[in-house]
Structure 1
Amino acid sequence: MRLLCIGDNVADCYLYQRKFYPGGNAVNVAVNCRRNGIGQVAYLGIFGDDDKAAHIRRVLRKENVDISRCRRFYGVSGQPIITLSPEGDRLFSKKFFYTCQNVVSLKFIQPDWDYMAGFDLCHTSCYSFLETELPRIREQCDISFDFSDIHTPQYMEQVCPYIRYAFFSGSHMEEAEIHDLIRRAHALGCEIVGVTRGGQPAVFSRNGQIFEQPVRKVQVVDTMGAGDSFIAGFLTEYSRSGSMEQALSFAADRAAETCTHYGGIGYPAPLKGYLE
């Protein structure tokens, strides 16, 4: 499989450590899929011109993720402030809006569309603000989409008709709510729908056939990026085997491994400053 991840890159700032870590759903999925063995992985997004963006670019190059079509903007990177609960669950304590990804958006030109057509799958998310571009992206390749916890009828009607894989976060949802969400996503055109639930079993469906995947038991250090690792693991193994069971088992392994270290993909760097 050839994978293109489009969208967010951020510097997850751990103030108490005085460190930041590369992050963002699109970056985390790209790096993890490359580590999982997908041969061709690319990332397309907007970088700021600060030290945080420079570090993220270095990491992507080191992980052999193609960033040749990325844009650069005179502005600061997204830099959410991260705290951890006593159990290691990541908490976003502050969000900044005057960052490069909030000030400008990606505008695709014909060479970008030609580039996308060389991939089998595009992964993006609700954090990438590409909803209006999904119909044309779908003309180039299949789409995987992370909704996080956004599943209003209006949003799903805007996104679901154009995507093959739909991923949701549902740690606070009841079982009946989860199955209703899955039914709605299928009815709007999604082939595979998955709901991860933190420490509870993930619930997935392929065209209405339900699968459950328990979490792996590990000593949790930090849950940052575990959901992204689950998505990357699932996409990688499903592309290889076509087996839901194998894909979910591999995804659970990869998510568990991510919980054993700080940051979504590692690579801490000194935190010299952050937005007030």
Structure 2
Amino acid sequence: MKLITIGDNVTDCYLSDGLYYPGGQAVNVAVNAKRDGAEKVNYLGIFGDDDRAEYIRACLEREGVTTLRCRKVYAPTAQPGVRIGPGGERIFVRGPRDSCQHLFALSLVSEDYEIIRSYDVCHTTNEAHIETQLPALSAEIPVSFDFSTRNDDAYLRAVCPFLTYAFFSGSGLRDEEVSGLIEKVLALGPRIVGVTRGEQGSVFSDGKKSYRHEAQKVKATDTMGAGDAFIAAFLTRYTDNGDMETSLDFAADRAAYACTVNGGFGYPHKNV
């Protein structure tokens, strides 16, 4: 399996510990996919010009994730604050504005597509801000998209027709709301739709069958990146074997493990 991810890179600043961790949805998925056995993984995004950006890039290199075609701009890396609540639940605190993630959006060009075509799947997110480029992207490669908690009708209609995989975070949704969301999204085009629900497990559908999968029980210390770990594991396994049940088993296992690791995937750094 060969995966390319497009999106943000940040440093999650743990306010009570005086530490930051490399992160960002697309970065987390890239690292986890490589750890899960993907043959080749590339991250494509916009780096700042500070030491934090260099640290994120060094961590990616150490994990075997390449950064071909990434951009570098004169702006700081995003620094969202994080507090850990009961059960390891992460609570975000707004960080400084005017970071490279706030000021710049990636514009894909022909040289990017030459790289993108060599992968099996492209995963991106609502934080990548490339929605208007999804028609061209989906013409080149199957696209996986993490909506997080965003599921308003206008956004779904704009994005879903260009997706193969659609992922949502739905821990606050009732059972009937999850079922209705999946049915609505499937009708708009994606082949597979999944809703992760934290301790309540996940609900997936391939349009033919619905799959309800329990979460693995674990003593969570930090839930940061658990959803990204789930997505990475699912895409890695499903792309290789096409079996929903075993892919969901693997994804639940990797998400549970992520809840025992601080940060999106480790690598603490003193926050100065």
Shorter-normalised TM range: over 0.9
Deviation of 1:95 after TM superposition, in Å, equals 3.9
Deviation of 1:197 after TM superposition, in Å, equals 0.6
Structure 2 unmatched runs, 5+: none
Q: In 2, are the aligned partners of 1:183 and 1:208 still within 8 Å (CA)? A: no
Which one-letter code corresponds to 1:264 in the other structure? G
What CA deviation, in whole Å up to 9, does each residue of 1:92-131 have, x standing for no partner? 0224431101111112221111111111110000011010
Question: 1:269, 1:73 → 2: CA distance?
Answer: 22
What CA deviation, in whole Å up to 9, does each residue of 1:41-68 have, x standing for no partner? 0000000111111110000000111102
Q: Within 5 Å, give how 1:96-115 maps onto structure 2.
A: 96-115=96-115
Question: 1:101, 1:94 → 2: CA distance?
Answer: 13
Structure 1 equivalent of residue 16 of structure 2 = 16
**What RMSD, in angstroms, separates the aligned Cα atoms of the two structures?**
0.9
Structure 2 equivalent of residue 139 of structure 1 = 139
Which one-letter code corresponds to 2:29 in the other structure? V
What CA deviation, in whole Å up to 9, does each residue of 1:215-237 have, x standing for no partner? 11111110000000000111111
What CA deviation, in whole Å up to 9, does each residue of 1:25-83 have, x standing for no partner? 10000000000010110000000111111110000000111102111011111111000
SS across alignment from 2:111: helix
Q: In 2, are the aligned partners of 1:163 and 1:190 still within 8 Å (CA)? A: yes
* 1:207 to 2:207 alignment: yes
Structure 1 unmatched runs, 5+: none
* 1:221 to 2:221 alignment: yes
Q: In 1, are the aligned partners of 2:107 and 2:130 still within 8 Å (CA)? A: no
Structure 2 equivalent of residue 249 of structure 1 = 249
Question: 1:220, 1:39 → 2: CA distance?
Answer: 29
Identity %: 47
Question: 1:153, 1:86 → 2: CA distance?
Answer: 32
Moved over 6 A (4+): none
With normalisation by structure 2, the TM-score equals 0.98
Question: 1:245, 1:85 → 2: CA distance?
Answer: 32
Which one-letter code corresponds to 1:4 in the other structure? I
* 1:71 to 2:71 alignment: yes
